[in-house]
């Protein structure tokens, strides 16, 4: 890793709510810290005492496979005590508010709350209500910061961009951009690192308004296949699309799915990414998802090191501000 940071750089954030709050230096510092934890994962003893005696709570109000397990393992590897809270079967069903739930859990002596919620803004609200650190594990259509950080880590390490200066890199994000917290966090982070971001999909879910954020908007995937260094294929979020965004799943797949034929036209070393969970045969063909250009499972592996870095930094930060 070849990250260059100002000599007097200090991580300033008590919470991680979104990449909108991070500077390019902050993102690069997370990458550098994650790199240290990634090399530790190859040792026979994978635990470090960095958060020994601390308590990390997973406060998830929405389903998750990757993020929840990854935060749980990350906290365990840092030697923290962990508590998994799920809203099903809790007093939320009796009408308790999210704020009261979080404040009651914090009262048991919690140091970090990791929160996923279907409503945008809940982690930010909690960060203002509790004294401990809050990490956003995905809120509504707002942000999914650790997914973006692990995606950036994967791009930097796989493409040999170890300084995490992404100038000149063409990163395509295809799919349901309008409803995607993954896309929002990622494009914010990539723009801060200097990448050229190409958003791809039908006008109903990839509106031209994203051009105001400095992104290219493309409705014809085939026209830009040869330009891409990375193709990040987002899941079509049937649960968030309220109106008919495209005529049929078959048409979406024909126009925007990553097929072996499309992959054959792309750069030989193009990285194929997907945040998961995959709708196989819709956004990406199985042969492509499981093929040599795919780094989909490496994203998951890298997520552990990135989340260790985030937990370590937010808790140990010498906070300069209240973000
Ligand atoms: N990428 C992601 O957030 O996956 P989960 O919903 O399984 O956590």
| Residue 284 or residue 250, greater confidence | 284
Q: Is 65 in the pocket of ligand 1 (CB under 6 A)?
A: yes
Neighbours of 156 (CB within 10 A): 26
User: Is the whole model's pTM more than 0.75, yes or no?
Assistant: yes
Minimal-distance CA residue to ligand 1 atom 5:
64
Q: Is the pLDDT of residue 80 over 60?
A: yes
Q: Which pLDDT value is given to residue 321? A: 42
CA distance 76 to 51: 9
Evaluate whether the domain defined by 19-142+303-322 bears CATH number 3.40.50.1370.
yes
Pocket of ligand 1 contains residue 147 by CB under 6 Å: yes
Q: Is the CB of 140 under 6 A from ligand 1?
A: no
Across the range 236-250, mean pLDDT stands at: 70
Q: What is the mean pLDDT of the chain?
A: 92
CATH number of 145-300: 3.40.50.1370
Lowest mean pLDDT among 76-90, 136-150, 218-232: 76-90
Confidence of residue 131 (pLDDT cuts 50, 70, 90): very high
Report whether pLDDT(121) > 90. Answer: yes
Share of the chain above pLDDT 70, in %: 96
**First CA to last CA distance, the chain:** 27
Residues 6 or more apart from 72 whose CB is under 8 A from it? 58, 82, 84
Question: 64: CA distance to ligand 1 center in Å?
Answer: 5
- Cβ partners under 8 Å of residue 84, min gap 6: 57, 58, 60, 68, 72
- The answer, yes or no, to whether residue 116 has pLDDT greater than 90, is yes
- Is any atom of ligand 1 closer than 6 Å to the C-beta of 232? no
CB of 276 within 6 A of ligand 1: the answer is yes
Is the beta carbon of 298 within 6 A of some atom in ligand 1? Answer: no
Is the pLDDT reported for residue 110 higher than 80? yes
pLDDT at residue 89 greater than cutoff 80: no
Q: What average pLDDT does this structure show over 237-250? A: 69
CA dist 253 and 223 (Å) reads 16
The best mutation among 69, 138, 150 to test binding of ligand 1, ranked by most ligand atoms within 8 Å of the C-beta, falls on 138
Same-fold call for 19-142+303-322 versus 145-300: yes
Q: How far is the CA of 188 from the centre of ligand 1 (A)?
A: 19
| 131 torsion bin: left (phi>0), alpha (psi -120 to 50), beta (else) | alpha
CA 182, CA 92: separation in Å to the nearest integer? 26
Query: What are the residue boundaries of the structural domains of the chain, listed by start?
Result: 19-142+303-322, 145-300
Average pLDDT over residues 216-238: 94
- Tell me: the pLDDT tens digits for 190-223? 999 999 999 999 999 999 999 999 999 999 999 9
Considering only residues 152 and 249, tell me which one the structure prediction assigns the higher pLDDT.
152
């Amino acid at each position: 890793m070849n990250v260059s940071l100002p000599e007097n750089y200090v991580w300033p954030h008590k919470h991680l709510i979104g990449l909108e709050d991070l500077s390019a230096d902050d993102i690069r510092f997370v990458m550098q810290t994650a790199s240290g934890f990634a090399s530790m994962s190859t040792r026979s003893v994978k635990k470090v005492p960095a958060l020994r005696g601390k308590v990390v709570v997973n406060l998830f109000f929405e389903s998750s496979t990757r993020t929840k397990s990854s935060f749980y393992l990350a906290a365990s590897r840092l030697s923290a005590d962990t508590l998994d809270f799920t809203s099903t079967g809790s007093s939320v069903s009796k009408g308790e508010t999210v704020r009261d739930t979080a404040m009651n859990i914090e009262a048991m002596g919690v140091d970090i709350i990791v929160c996923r919620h279907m409503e945008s803004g809940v982690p930010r609200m909690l960060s203002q209500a509790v004294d401990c650190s809050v990490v956003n594990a995905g809120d509504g259509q707002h942000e999914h910061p650790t997914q973006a950080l692990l995606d950036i880590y994967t791009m930097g390490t796989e493409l040999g961009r170890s300084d995490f200066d992404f100038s000149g890199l063409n990163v395509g994000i295809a799919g349901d951009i309008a409803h995607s917290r993954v896309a929002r966090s990622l494009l914010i982070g990539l723009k801060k690192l200097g990448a050229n971001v190409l958003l791809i999909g039908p006008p109903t879910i990839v509106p031209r308004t994203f051009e105001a954020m400095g992104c290219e908007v493309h409705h014809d995937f085939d026209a830009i296949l040869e330009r891409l260094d990375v193709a990040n294929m987002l899941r079509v979020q049937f649960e968030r699309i309220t109106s008919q965004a495209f005529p049929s799943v078959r048409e979406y797949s024909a126009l925007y799915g990553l097929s072996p034929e499309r992959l054959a036209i792309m750069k030989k070393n193009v990285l194929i990414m997907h945040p998961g969970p995959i709708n196989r045969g819709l956004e990406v063909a199985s042969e492509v998802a499981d093929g040599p250009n795919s780094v989909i499972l490496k994203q998951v592996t890298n997520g552990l090191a990135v989340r260790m870095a985030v937990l370590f930094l937010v808790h140990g930060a010498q906070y300069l501000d209240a973000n």
